[in-house]
Amino acid sequence: MNETYTPPTILLVEEDDEVRPLLSQNLRNQGYHVVVALNEADAIERTKGGSFCPDLILLNQVGQSIQEYAAMGQRICKSTGIANHTLIIVMAERYGADMEGKDVQVDEAEYVTYLEDGQQLTNLLHRLCPV
């Protein structure tokens, strides 16, 4: 049998013009297929109609609460028919020193990461969505 390997797909929702290209390139360098969206509406447009189904939705929190970003991930899934069990990771924007370096599982498919460094995100992604 000659099976073709398909890397896991990450839907990256990143509003920051400076962070977006660096983060998406780092994810690609790690072996992921990355689809980039600028915001919730763009993410819904890119995934509508089942054009692709991401294995993971990665959201970089900016300006709203973590709960609002987690809800955004859920709305993207519901609006586009993406499976409810699709992993959602929110990268927290601001947090105290006591949270730095922690990955918190919110429910079965939702996580919040309080990044200490880029390696922490890499480790979390490889644990949840191995390449």
Supply the pLDDT for residue 1. 55
Count the residues in the chain.
131
Supply the pLDDT for residue 113. 96
Q: How far apart are the first and last CA of the chain?
A: 21
Domains defined along the chain, listed by start: 9-128 (3.40.50.2300)
Please give the model's pTM, rounded to 2 decimal places: 0.91
Q: Is the dihedral of CA 56, 61, 65, 66 positive or negative?
A: positive
**pLDDT of the chain, 131 residues: tens digit per residue:** 567 888 999 999 999 889 999 999 999 999 999 999 999 999 999 888 766 789 999 999 988 889 999 999 999 988 888 877 899 999 998 888 999 999 999 999 999 999 999 899 999 999 999 98
Supply the pLDDT for residue 112. 96
Please report the DSSP string for 21-74 in residue order: HHHHHHHHHTT-EEEEESSHHHHHHHHGGGS---SEEEEE--SS-HHHHHHHHH
Supply the pLDDT for residue 83. 77
Secondary structure letter of residue 84 according to DSSP: T
The two three-digit tokens of residue 88, written as one number: 């959602």
